[in-house]
Every structure is written in structure tokens, then in C-alpha cells.
């Protein structure tokens, strides 16, 4: 990529940020050999929004998130996250986002405070800032008594709340949550979403994938991916009206039926 083209792309990214978008992608595509995991997706996410990213298994959600986070290089298309170009400035993006996935939350063989210290240390926070903020955070969560507990000994719901708090510890502009509430009871999921709202009130944009349709209702806008493409993108209310159904569950079922490729 030439320097001129590169500068143009980066200017476009900054422009998008000034327009109030923290994520803006156009025709983003990822191919693995002959398989097109993500097929020309385009969307924008506004600052302070909770953006739901729905889709059946194998629809391409994780690949899309990985491109946004700078873990996958897009095959074609362009995009910007937090004012940086996803094709060229992935290291800058990493500094301005938080990430949490269901697959991995925290290190089980590290204590609660050691996990916080590790991840905060990766972002280059100073020891004193980390120590002060750790106590504040644990106090707010009511986890102070568990500061020295191994994370492996905590119940799953606690782990997820803690992982989320660690993901936003360095005050990112956007936090990406890849199925953050898998496998926990509705009450715990409810508490988890309270934490999300609290983060949003602090100006953090939330990009979340989920399997739970009740959680889709909590989002400002949801997109539905089918076979690597975005089939629907609107507010939960508009989607329900559009399909003439009562719940997001039904919306999802109707949209997901359009899939022609099987789970991977």
C-alpha cells in the first residue's frame, strides 16, 4: 500500500470519528481459501452505543470481531475502529479497545489482583495507578474479599463480571464482548448487563455478540449475520415490527432460516 493511499485511509478514519462513529466498516470481507467467512459487510457504530452482533454458529461473527480487533487481516474492504484504520493501524487500535471472550476470561492460576495487574501492565499503566484503581474497582463490584483468591476458585458468573471489569480497566473507547455471558443463569446475566450499562454511562461503546435473545433486547441496535453477510440491522423494536412478531427470538428464527451453509 502506497504512503499516499495510506494517509488517505487514515484521514478517512479520523473523519469518521469526528462524525460520531467509533466503528465504520465498508465491504469488509475475509476469505479462508475458497471459503468466504465474512462477505462484504458494512455498518457503523455510534459512540456510546450498545451494538448487538447476532448470528448462528458459523455465521462469521467471530471472524468479523477479530478483523475489527486487528487479529485478522481483511481480505478486502476497509474499516476504522476508534479512529484507526483496521488494515494498517492495528497496533493503535489495540491500545484503544478492550476485549473479552467466553472462551477465555482470565488466568485461573493467577489471583484476582494479579490478573488485573497483568492486563493493566500490558497497557502500560503505572504500578501506583493500577493499585489504586484495583481497590476502587473491587470495592465497586463488592469483590474486595476475593482480592487474593485464585480466579479458578471463583464461580463462573463472578469470573465474567471480573473479566469484563478487567477488559475496561484501561478505559478503552470500545469494548468487544464475544458471547460474554455464556453458561450462566438469567439473574447473573442481568447483573452483567448492569455493568455494561454502567460502562456505557462512562462513554464506552459496547460491541457484543450473544446467543440470548433477551440480551438482544438490551441493545440499541442489533445486526443479524447469516452466511457471512449482514441480513438485518436495526433497533430491536423496528425489527419486531418489520417481521410482525412479539419477540427477538422469533425475529432471529425467521432470519436465521435464510442460512444455506451449515455450522462449522
Gap between the Cα atoms of 49 and 5, Å rounded: 30
Gap between the Cα atoms of 61 and 72, Å rounded: 13
Gap between the Cα atoms of 106 and 126, Å rounded: 21
Cross-strand bridge partners of residue 206: 50, 175
Minimal distance, residue 52 CB to other proteins, in Å:
20
Gap between the Cα atoms of 151 and 138, Å rounded: 13
Q: Which of 19, 27, 32, 129 binds other proteins (CB under 8 A)?
A: 32
Cross-strand bridge partners of residue 41: 28
User: Does the footprint of other proteins cover residue 69 (CB under 8 A)?
Assistant: yes
Gap between the Cα atoms of 160 and 187, Å rounded: 13
User: Does the footprint of other proteins cover residue 109 (CB under 8 A)?
Assistant: yes
In the bound state with other proteins, the residue whose beta carbon lies nearer, of 117 and 221, is 117
Contacts of 94 (CB under 8 A, 6+ apart): 69, 70
Minimal distance, residue 116 CB to other proteins, in Å:
11
CB-based burial label for 149 (10 Å; 0-12, 13-18, 19+):
middle
Of 47-55, 102-110, 216-224, 239-247: span binding other proteins (CB under 8 A): 102-110
User: Does the footprint of other proteins cover residue 35 (CB under 8 A)?
Assistant: no
- Give the binding-site size for other proteins (rule: CB under 8 A): 28
Minimal distance, residue 154 CB to other proteins, in Å:
16
In the bound state with other proteins, the residue whose beta carbon lies nearer, of 98 and 236, is 98
In the bound state with other proteins, the residue whose beta carbon lies nearer, of 177 and 255, is 177
User: Does the footprint of other proteins cover residue 114 (CB under 8 A)?
Assistant: yes
Provide the binding-site residues for other proteins, judged by CB under 8 A. Answer: 32, 66, 69-73, 90-91, 94-95, 97, 99, 101, 103-104, 107, 109-110, 114, 117-119, 121-124, 176
Amino acid at each position: 500500500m502506497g504512503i499516499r493511499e495510506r494517509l488517505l485511509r487514515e484521514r478517512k478514519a479520523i473523519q469518521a470519528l469526528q462524525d460520531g462513529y467509533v466503528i465504520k466498516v465498508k465491504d469488509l470481507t475475509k476469505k479462508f481459501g475458497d471459503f468466504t467467512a465474512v462477505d462484504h459487510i458494512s455498518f457503523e457504530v455510534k459512540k456510546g452505543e450498545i451494538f448487538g452482533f447476532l448470528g448462528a454458529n458459523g455465521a462469521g461473527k467471530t471472524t468479523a470481531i477479530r478483523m475489527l480487533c486487528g487479529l485478522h487481516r481483511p481480505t478486502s474492504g476497509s474499516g476504522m475502529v476508534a479512529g484507526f484504520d483496521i488494515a494498517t493501524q492495528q497496533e493503535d487500535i489495540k491500545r484503544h479497545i478492550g476485549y473479552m471472550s467466553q472462551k477465555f476470561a482470565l488466568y485461573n492460576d493467577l489471583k484476582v489482583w494479579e490478573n488485573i495487574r497483568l492486563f493493566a501492565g500490558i497497557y502500560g499503566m503505572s504500578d501506583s495507578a493500577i493499585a489504586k484503581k484495583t481497590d476502587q474497582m473491587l470495592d465497586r463490584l463488592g469483590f474486595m474479599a476475593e482480592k487474593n483468591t485464585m480466579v479458578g476458585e471463583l464461580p463462573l458468573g463472578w469470573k465474567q463480571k471480573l473479566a469484563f471489569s478487567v477488559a475496561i480497566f484501561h478505559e478503552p473507547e470500545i469494548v468487544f464482548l464475544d458471547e460474554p455471558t455464556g453458561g450462566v443463569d438469567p439473574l447473573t446475566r442481568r447483573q452483567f448487563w448492569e455493568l455494561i450499562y454502567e460502562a456505557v454511562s462512562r462513554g464506552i461503546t459496547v460491541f457484543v455478540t450473544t446467543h440470548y435473545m433477551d440480551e438482544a433486547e438490551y441493545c440499541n441496535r442489533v445486526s443479524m449475520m447469516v452466511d457471512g453477510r449482514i441480513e438485518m440491522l436495526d433497533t430491536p423494536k423496528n425489527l419486531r415490527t418489520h417481521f410482525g412478531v412479539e419477540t427477538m427470538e422469533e425475529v432471529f428464527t425467521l432470519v436465521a432460516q435464510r442460512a444455506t451453509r451449515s455450522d462449522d
